[in-house]
Structure 1
Amino acid sequence: MFKNAEPSQSIGLQFWSVYSKWQLRVISCLKPLNITHTQFVVLTAILWLEDQHQIVTQASVVAITGIDKMTLSKSLKNLVFQGFVVKSKNESDSRSLILRLSDDGELLTKKALFLIEKLDEEFFGIIGQKKENDFRELLLEYKKCS
């Protein structure tokens, strides 16, 4: 009935198990800041794009994060309501809006980013730098294939 003799041989189950442990820690880390994991990803994508002096649109956030448009739209609506993201008219493309972090949004994002990067170092660092780099490369490879 099962392809694998043992649950430990199921790559999907093992990936899900590790991801779930990591995600629970991320959620716990972000809870005091009152933002969701998705909101954190959106905020950091905007911060990164701004840091690269790029015009930030929903399309550019989707391109970096892979978040589906509906989920992004809902997250942005909440982030705008909370005062962390500001939308403005895009003079060069009337079909899109320009996104930017408010001052409060930038402060929150930098604080959250510090916490999550520390968490990532602790969580993924236990396997050693080489394996961590290999894991990152494998994830990037899978991302290209899908």
Structure 2
Amino acid sequence: MDDEDSPAPTPGYLVWLLANKWRVAVDRAVAPLGLTHAQYALVTALYDVQRTGERPSQRRLADHTGLEALYVSKLARALESAGLVERSRDPHDPRAVQLALTEQGQAVTRQAIAVVQELLQRLLAPLGGLDAPRTRAFTQELTTLLDTPLAPLAPNDSPRRRNP
């Protein structure tokens, strides 16, 4: 069987491959700072929210990042152990845990943002770089796809996928 007989990869499969490639690239880039890609996503989201003066709950950050609340809790505990995040009870809701970057966490996050921005510039070079028109168009297309809500499966439906 030659390449002409092989079906072309689906857009979903290509998005999945690209997401994995970028996750690995970010993992490698932030590893010297003691972070994983998921931790990077959490500290940068916390950094952004904290700059507005808010001390967000783990639930708020889960909603903001699209990560599962339980995973955010696990990441926050690891980041607390590393001295990058403070966790405290919300004075208005004792069930909620609020997060804040420590001074060290802010410094590491600023370094990580710079490292990842440089990485993105390299990864997006084939499209002309981070600020190129092709990159902006690519970003708009991805945003359109991400903004499309998932239709809930009917009770008797089962997903049938060849590849993601």
TM bucket (normalised to shorter chain) is: 0.7 to 0.9
User: Deviations for 1:25-77, whole angstroms, at most 9, x for unmatched residues?
Assistant: 21110111121110111111110001122231112211221001121111111
Task: Identify which range, 98-107 or 14-23, moves more after superposition.
Answer: 14-23
Q: Does the alignment pair 1:123 with 2:149?
A: no
DSSP-derived class of the 2:120 partner: helix
Larger Rg: 2
Q: C-alpha distance in 2, partners of 1:77/1:7?
A: 45
Q: C-alpha distance in 2, partners of 1:80/1:9?
A: 41
Moved over 4 A (4+): none
Paired residue for 2:142? 139
* Aligned 1:11-90 pairs, distance under 5 A: 11-90=11-90
DSSP-derived class of the 1:52 partner: coil
* Identity across matched positions, percent: 23
Q: CA deviation at 1:127?
A: 0.7
Q: C-alpha distance in 1, partners of 2:77/2:125?
A: 35
Structure 2: gaps (5+ residues): 150-164
Structure 1: gaps (5+ residues): none
* Aligned 1:90-109 pairs, distance under 5 A: 90-109=90-109
Q: C-alpha distance in 1, partners of 2:7/2:18?
A: 14
DSSP-derived class of the 1:96 partner: strand
DSSP-derived class of the 2:27 partner: helix
DSSP-derived class of the 2:127 partner: coil
User: Deviations for 1:71-90, whole angstroms, at most 9, x for unmatched residues?
Assistant: 11111110111111001221
Provide the aligned length of Structure 1 versus Structure 2.
142
